[in-house]
C-alpha cells in the first residue's frame, strides 16, 4: 500500500528546522521559568515534542490527496470538536474562554488548533475542484464561508486570537489559488477606510483616491457586477454602521479589548496598567541586548514582570535570554521554514499540494507575524502563541502535523506526476485559465 521508496526523498531540511525550533522553545521555556517548575515544564514539553514527531511521521504515511478527498469529513469533525467545548463537563473554561476539551479526564486539548488544519484541507478541496469559481459570487463566498464558520465558533468561546488566524489563511489561500487581486482589494477597502478615517484626514483622502482607482480598475477589467456590487455594498454598509454607531459598538467591547486598542494607539499611556504587558515585553526584549542575559537569567521572566511568558509573550522571554542574536536566529529559521514551505508549493505539480503548503505556510506566517509584532509593539495585544516555541501540547502537535504535511507533499512531488502521466498515457497539462488572473 505505502510506497516506502518515496521515503528516500524525506524532507530532512524542514524536519530539522522544526526540531531546531522546538528545541529552542524547550530551552527558552525552561530557562524562563526557573528552578524546579522549569524542569517539570521541560519534561512535559519534551514529551509533547516526541509525540509531535510521531504525529509528523504518521501524517507522511497518508497521501495528502487522500486527506483532501476526505476533507469534508475532517472538516465536520473539526467543527464538532469545536462545539464540544461548549458541552458541560467536556469543555473546559480556561483563561476566560471555553477553548479546551477534556478527553477522559486525562488529556486536555484545544480543538481550535486542529480546526485550523481541518479548515486548510477543506479550503484546498473547495479551491481545487471548481475551475471557473472566480466568475461568480458563490465561488468567492464559499471559501469565505468555510473559513468563517470555525472562526465564528471560536469567537463565541471567546478566543479572539485564534479566530483572527482564519482570516489571513483563507485570504492567502484564495489569492494563491488565483483570486484576482482586485477582489482582495474590494474586500479590504472598507477595513482600510476604517483605519484611514480614524487616523488623519490626509490618510483618509489617500484612501478615497485609492478606492477611486480601484473602482476604475473594476470598470476597465469588466468584472461582472454580480461579483463586486455585493462586496462594495457590504463594505459601504459596514462602513456606514461603524461611522454612525461606532461609539455604541465601542461601548459594547469588553474592557480588556478596549484597553488593548487604546494602549496600541498611545504606547506611552498608563505604563503601569493599560500598557503594562506590552511595556514589560519591550523591556524584556530591550534589556536582552545583542547577546542576551543568558538562559535562565532573564529577570523579567524569572520575577514575573512579563505576563504569559510561556505562551503569548514567549518571544520576549526568548529575546531577553538570548538577545538579538538568538531572536534573529529564530526569525531566520522561521523564514527558512516558510521559504521551504513555499518552495514545496512551487515544486509540487498538483494544485492540492500547492494549496495545502500555502495554507500551512500562511498559518505559520500569521502566528509568527502577529506574535512577534505584538511582542515588539507593532500590533495590538492579541493572545496568539508562537509557532513551535510556545508551551502547549495541542499547539505543538498541530505545528508538527503541519510540517508533516509539507514533508508529505514534497516526498510525493515527482513520483505522483510520473505515475499519473504514465498511466494516462499523455503528459499532464495545466488547466488553462479562462479569466484574468491579475488586474
Partner 1 sequence: MVSKQKPGLILKSPTVDRRLQGFLFFCCGIFAVLVFRLWTIQIYHHEEFLEKAEHNITRILPIKAKRGRILDRNGKILAHDIDYYDLYMPIRVQKGQVKPSAQESLMLLSQLIDVPYKTLEARYLEMRTNPHRKFEGTIQVCVAKDISFEKVVAILERQTEFPQEAMVFPVAVPVRHYPYNDAASHILGYVAEVSARELKLERYQGYRQGDKVGKDGIEYVYEPYLRGRDGKIGVFVDKFEIQRGRPFEMELPVQGNDIVLNLDIDLQMATENILGASRGVIVVSDPRDNTILAMASSPRFNPNTFSQEYHQLLADPHKPLYHRAIKTAYIPGSIIKVFEAFAILDGLNISENAREYCNGGYAPPGIRRVWHCWKRTGHGPMNMVDAIKHSCDVYFYKMGMRLTIDGMNDYARQFGLNRKTGIDLKGEMYAPFPTRSRSWTGGDTMNASIGQGKVSLTPIQVNTALSAIANGGTLYAPRVAHQIVSATGDVVAVMDPVVSGQIEASTRAWNAVRKGMWEVVNSWGTAWRLKQDSKLLKEKKIEVMGKTGSAEVIKNYPTNALFVCYAPSENPEIAVTIILEFAGHGGEFAVPPAQAVLETYFRDKDSNPIVLNATSEPATQRKTEL
408-427 residues near partner 1, rule: CB under 8 A: 416, 420, 423-424
Residue 199 in the binding site for partner 1 (CB under 8 A): no
**Binds partner 1 by CB under 8 A, chosen from 4, 66, 201, 247:** 66
Give the containing element (helix H, strand E) for 92: strand 91-94
Cβ 53 to partner 1, closest distance in Å? Answer: 26
Residue 299 in the binding site for partner 1 (CB under 8 A): yes
Q: Applying CB under 8 A, what is the total number of residues that bind partner 1? A: 71
Q: Give the residue with the Cβ less far from partner 1, 82 or 355.
A: 355
Q: Which window, 46-54, 78-86, 185-193, 369-377, contacts partner 1 (CB under 8 A)?
A: 369-377
- Cβ burial of 36 (10 Å; 0-12, 13-18, 19+) is exposed
Antiparallel, parallel or unpaired: β 91-94 and 107-109:
unpaired
Measured between alpha carbons, how far is 103 from 159 in angstroms, rounded to an integer? 20
Residue 431 in the binding site for partner 1 (CB under 8 A): yes
Cβ 374 to partner 1, closest distance in Å? Answer: 11
Residue 254 in the binding site for partner 1 (CB under 8 A): no
Measured between alpha carbons, how far is 188 from 177 in angstroms, rounded to an integer? 18
**Binds partner 1 by CB under 8 A, chosen from 21, 117, 177, 223:** 177
Q: Give the residue with the Cβ less far from partner 1, 109 or 172.
A: 172
Cβ 95 to partner 1, closest distance in Å? Answer: 17
Measured between alpha carbons, how far is 37 from 41 in angstroms, rounded to an integer? 6
Residue 176 in the binding site for partner 1 (CB under 8 A): yes
Cβ 256 to partner 1, closest distance in Å? Answer: 12
Residue 221 in the binding site for partner 1 (CB under 8 A): no
Q: Which window, 21-29, 135-143, 245-253, 358-366, contacts partner 1 (CB under 8 A)?
A: 358-366
**Binds partner 1 by CB under 8 A, chosen from 102, 136, 257, 287:** 287
**Binds partner 1 by CB under 8 A, chosen from 280, 321, 398, 408:** 280
Residue 334 in the binding site for partner 1 (CB under 8 A): yes
Asked if 146 contacts 133 with a C-beta cutoff of 8 angstroms, the reply is no
Dihedral Cα 15, 19, 22, 23, nearest 10 deg: -170
Of residues 101 through 160, those in contact with partner 1 by CB under 8 A are: 128-129
Asked if 411 contacts 344 with a C-beta cutoff of 8 angstroms, the reply is no
Measured between alpha carbons, how far is 211 from 207 in angstroms, rounded to an integer? 6
DSSP code per residue over 161-208: HHHHHHHHHHHHHHHHTT--HHHHHHHHHHHHHHHHHHH-HHHHHHHH
Write the DSSP symbol of residue 97.
E
Residue 285 in the binding site for partner 1 (CB under 8 A): yes
Integer CA distances (angstroms), 9 to 12, 73, 149, 158, 346, in order: 8, 30, 37, 42, 16
Round the CA-based radius of gyration of the chain to a whole number and report it. 23
Q: What are phi and psi of 105, to 5 degrees?
A: 70, 5
Residue 340 in the binding site for partner 1 (CB under 8 A): no
Measured between alpha carbons, how far is 384 from 105 in angstroms, rounded to an integer? 25
Asked if 336 contacts 393 with a C-beta cutoff of 8 angstroms, the reply is no
Asked if 118 contacts 108 with a C-beta cutoff of 8 angstroms, the reply is no
Residue 282 in the binding site for partner 1 (CB under 8 A): yes
Cβ 100 to partner 1, closest distance in Å? Answer: 25
Site string for partner 1, 178-197 (x = CB under 8 A): x-------------------
Residue 162 in the binding site for partner 1 (CB under 8 A): no
Write the DSSP symbol of residue 212.
H
**Binds partner 1 by CB under 8 A, chosen from 30, 140, 342, 401:** 342
Q: Residue 247 is placed in which grid cell? A: 461609539
Q: Give the residue with the Cβ less far from partner 1, 22 or 374.
A: 374
Asked if 288 contacts 320 with a C-beta cutoff of 8 angstroms, the reply is yes
Of residues 2 through 61, those in contact with partner 1 by CB under 8 A are: none
Q: Which window, 3-11, 50-58, 147-155, 176-184, contacts partner 1 (CB under 8 A)?
A: 176-184
Integer CA distances (angstroms), 409 to 13, 57, 63, 79, in order: 14, 13, 8, 25
Q: Which window, 17-25, 143-151, 198-206, 375-383, contacts partner 1 (CB under 8 A)?
A: 375-383
Cβ 158 to partner 1, closest distance in Å? Answer: 23
Q: Which window, 94-102, 213-221, 237-245, 359-367, contacts partner 1 (CB under 8 A)?
A: 359-367
Of residues 376 through 415, those in contact with partner 1 by CB under 8 A are: 376-378
Amino acid at each position: 500500500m505505502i510506497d516506502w521508496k518515496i521515503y528516500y526523498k524525506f524532507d530532512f531540511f524542514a524536519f530539522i528546522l522544526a526540531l531546531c525550533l522546538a528545541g529552542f522553545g524547550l530551552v527558552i521555556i525552561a530557562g524562563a521559568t526557573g528552578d524546579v517548575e522549569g524542569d517539570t515544564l521541560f519534561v512535559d514539553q519534551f514529551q509533547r515534542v516526541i509525540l509531535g514527531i510521531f504525529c509528523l511521521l504518521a501524517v507522511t504515511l497518508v497521501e495528502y490527496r487522500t486527506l483532501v478527498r476526505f476533507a469534508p469529513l475532517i472538516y465536520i469533525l473539526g467543527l464538532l470538536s469545536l462545539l464540544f467545548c461548549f458541552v458541560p463537563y467536556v469543555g473546559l473554561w480556561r483563561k476566560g474562554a471555553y477553548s479546551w476539551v477534556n478527553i477522559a479526564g486525562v488529556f486536555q486539548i484545544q480543538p481550535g488548533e486542529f480546526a485550523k488544519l481541518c479548515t486548510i484541507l477543506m479550503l484546498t478541496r473547495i479551491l481545487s475542484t471548481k475551475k471557473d469559481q472566480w466568475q461568480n459570487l458563490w465561488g468567492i463566498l464559499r471559501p469565505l464561508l468555510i473559513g468563517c464558520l470555525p472562526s465564528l465558533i471560536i469567537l463565541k468561546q471567546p478566543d479572539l486570537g485564534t479566530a483572527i488566524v482564519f482570516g489571513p489563511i483563507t485570504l492567502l489561500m484564495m489569492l494563491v489559488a488565483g483570486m484576482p487581486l482586485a477582489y482582495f482589494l474590494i474586500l479590504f477597502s472598507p477595513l482600510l477606510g476604517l483605519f484611514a478615517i480614524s487616523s488623519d484626514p490626509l490618510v483618509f483622502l489617500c484612501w478615497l483616491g485609492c478606492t477611486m482607482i480601484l473602482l476604475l480598475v473594476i470598470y476597465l477589467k469588466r468584472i461582472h457586477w454580480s461579483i463586486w456590487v455585493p462586496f462594495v455594498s457590504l463594505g459601504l454598509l459596514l462602513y456606514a454602521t461603524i461611522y454612525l454607531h461606532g461609539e455604541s459598538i465601542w461601548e459594547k467591547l469588553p474592557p480588556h479589548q478596549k484597553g488593548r486598542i487604546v494602549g496600541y494607539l498611545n504606547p506611552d499611556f498608563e505604563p503601569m496598567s493599560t500598557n503594562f504587558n506590552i511595556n514589560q515585553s519591550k523591556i524584556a526584549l530591550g534589556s536582552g541586548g545583542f547577546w542576551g542575559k543568558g538562559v535562565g537569567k532573564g529577570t523579567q521572566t524569572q520575577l514575573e514582570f512579563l505576563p504569559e511568558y510561556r505562551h503569548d509573550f514567549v518571544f520576549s522571554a526568548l529575546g531577553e535570554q538570548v538577545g538579538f542574536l538568538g531572536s534573529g536566529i529564530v526569525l531566520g529559521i522561521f523564514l527558512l521554514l516558510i521559504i521551504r514551505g513555499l518552495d514545496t508549493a512551487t515544486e509540487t505539480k498538483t494544485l492540492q499540494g500547492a494549496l495545502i503548503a500555502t495554507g500551512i505556510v500562511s498559518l505559520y506566517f500569521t502566528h509568527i507575524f502577529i506574535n512577534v509584532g505584538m511582542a515588539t509593539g507593532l500590533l495590538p495585544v492579541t493572545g496568539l502563541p508562537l509557532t513551535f516555541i510556545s508551551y502547549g501540547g495541542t499547539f505543538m502537535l498541530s505545528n508538527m502535523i503541519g510540517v508533516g504535511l509539507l514533508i508529505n507533499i514534497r516526498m510525493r512531488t515527482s513520483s505522483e506526476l510520473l505515475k499519473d502521466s504514465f498511466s494516462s498515457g499523455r503528459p499532464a497539462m495545466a488547466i488553462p485559465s479562462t479569466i484574468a488572473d491579475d488586474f
